[in-house]
Amino acid sequence: MNLPRPALVIYLMADRDMVELAEAAVRGGAAAIEIGIPFSDPLADGPVVQRAGQRALRNGMTMDRALALIAELRSRVEVPLIPMTYASPVLARGVRRFCADAAAAGANGLIVPDVPVDEAGELLEACAASRLDLIPLLAPTSPESRIELACRAAGGFVYLVSVAGVTGVREGLSSRVGDLVARVRPHTELRLLIGFGISSPATARAALETGADGVVIGSKAIEVCEAGGAAALEAFVRDIAETVTAFSGV
């Protein structure tokens, strides 16, 4: 998976309006789209993402429908597409079948936050067989041994979680993020992207100032969609993308 540096990744929930919203995000400057596949017990999701997931489930979203949306989106955009889901739906479908189906739909990578790297052997093998990048999450509380193991297995980029908690909009960036970037950097040449709490040009710039290679925005993007739809999302993403692009010249 090739991402620019710095990179802006936008998270959207797989729902009936996802393709339209994702196209708007790409027009605004998103370098990749992370696509949440809704699950009834989303342990890493904060209230905004949970609300979006429950709405998608009420709208009849299933794994098959989510994969069909990814395939439709792939026919319309060229940026990397990264499904994000949980271990239970993957196991229910079968690990190898899920990875093969995601790749056939046009996915480039995969995020499964509740599969720890030291238990991800089957998932790593299935991703490799389907040429999917398995993207790990690391937090400020991650020990050195976990950082080293996760980076060794990582593909695409390494997702750095700004807090030890769930997703959500926050006013500022934790002071621990810079230390996390410094700890992870020696272990990998992959891009290091910061997520959980990035919600504005100011927080995006603060994340990049730590030495990170990009940001992932989810909860705020969903809130913008809820308030104003695709047009509002495109304007929001363009605003963030201008900050990210300007930083590349600093």
Give the whole-angstrom CA distance, residue 222 versus residue 49.
Answer: 7
Beta strand pairing status for 7-13 and 214-217?
parallel
Q: What is the CATH T-level fold of the domain 7-245, as seen in this structure?
A: TIM Barrel (3.20.20)
For residue 151 the two structure tokens come to 């980076």
Residues labelled as active-site residues: 34, 45
Coil, strand, or helix at residue 173? coil
**Structure confidence at residue 169 (pLDDT):** 46
Reference 82, options 11, 140, 16, 141; nearest CA is: 11
**Structure confidence at residue 100 (pLDDT):** 98
Give the position of tokens 């047009």: 231
**Structure confidence at residue 249 (pLDDT):** 54
**Structure confidence at residue 167 (pLDDT):** 45
**Structure confidence at residue 176 (pLDDT):** 80
**Structure confidence at residue 162 (pLDDT):** 80
Give the whole-angstrom CA distance, residue 204 versus residue 197.
Answer: 9
Residues facing 7 on adjacent strands: 214
Element (H, E) at 21: helix 18-28
For residue 22 the two structure tokens come to 């994702």
Residues facing 34 on adjacent strands: 11, 82
Max CA distance (Å), the chain: 47
Give the whole-angstrom CA distance, residue 175 versus residue 55.
Answer: 34
Residues facing 111 on adjacent strands: 84
In tens, the pLDDT along 177-209 reads 899 999 999 999 999 999 988 999 999 999 999
The reported pTM is 0.94
CA 60 to chain centre: 23
Regions of the chain where pLDDT drops below 70:
42, 44, 163-174, 248-250
